[in-house]
Structure 1
């Protein structure tokens, strides 16, 4: 147990700035992110959203992509394209979300990989990275 006069202070040198009207925490100027954090937050967010949409459609909440698009307030074309991310190969999803590997293709191109075989998906999504190793 600690006594009432025992105090632990933790100082974290952060700055608060407003960006687009919202507060944003800024790291110290000498901070450099580690190289193992190469995940693209946009890709992670898109994959999570696609899986959520897939679950809702499989549960019968929506019968068509058009109904889903109207419900989430996005264009049907955008929802249709992003929904494909939920059908990527398990190995590709694992490497993108857990393996901390950056994709060699953009989020837009990643959406079109679902039509490929699982082996081709992995080769195309990570071709630059595999060649460097």
Structure 2
């Protein structure tokens, strides 16, 4: 007997029927990867599992909540600096009771390309766009950012 899957090609799955014919065991190769604090199912070819064409649409894409929160914080802090609430990043860091370097690295997120920011907000950012990676530095030029995200 062969198993039927909605998303996995038959060549990649195996199915066995118990001797009494009451139990069908289906093996579908997949891996789980953590992305933005959530686990994602990854197909054997490395792509994220695609929903079946007849599946109900997802309410929300895979928003990286940690990255989204950090991005919002960066823009909030930038607005506070722009409005003159704090004269320097050091003053802001002191008021937030954070190290100057953390505030500086977070503020750099305001320099991301607009399309990458939109993708983060939508939850459709490439795998190369992750909170820790961005906080450790990224190019200022938007084209280089896009290449970094893609590769």
Does residue 1:37 correspond to 2:49, yes or no?
A: no
Query: Per residue, is there more strand in 1 or in 2?
Result: 2
Give the ranges of 4+ consecutive aligned residues of structure 1 lying more than 3 Å apart after TM superposition: none
In the alignment of these two chains, the number of paired residues is 93
Equivalent pair of 2:74/2:109 in contact (CA under 8 Å): yes
Pair 84,47 (structure 1): closer, same or farther in 2 beyond 3 Å:
same
User: Which whole-Å CA distance do the structure 1 matches of 2:127 and 2:121 have between them?
Assistant: 10
**C-alpha RMSD over aligned residues:** 2.0
Runs of 5+ in structure 2 lacking a partner? 1-57
Does residue 1:78 correspond to 2:102, yes or no?
A: yes
Query: Per residue, is there more helix in 1 or in 2?
Result: 1
Of 113, 117, 134 in structure 2, the residue corresponding to residue 110 of structure 1 is 134
What corresponds to 1:46 in structure 2?
70
TM-score for the superposition, normalised by structure 1:
0.62
Provide the secondary structure at the position in 1 that maps to 2:119: helix
Equivalent pair of 1:65/1:76 in contact (CA under 8 Å): yes
Pair 103,39 (structure 1): closer, same or farther in 2 beyond 3 Å:
farther
Larger radius of gyration: 2
What corresponds to 1:58 in structure 2?
82
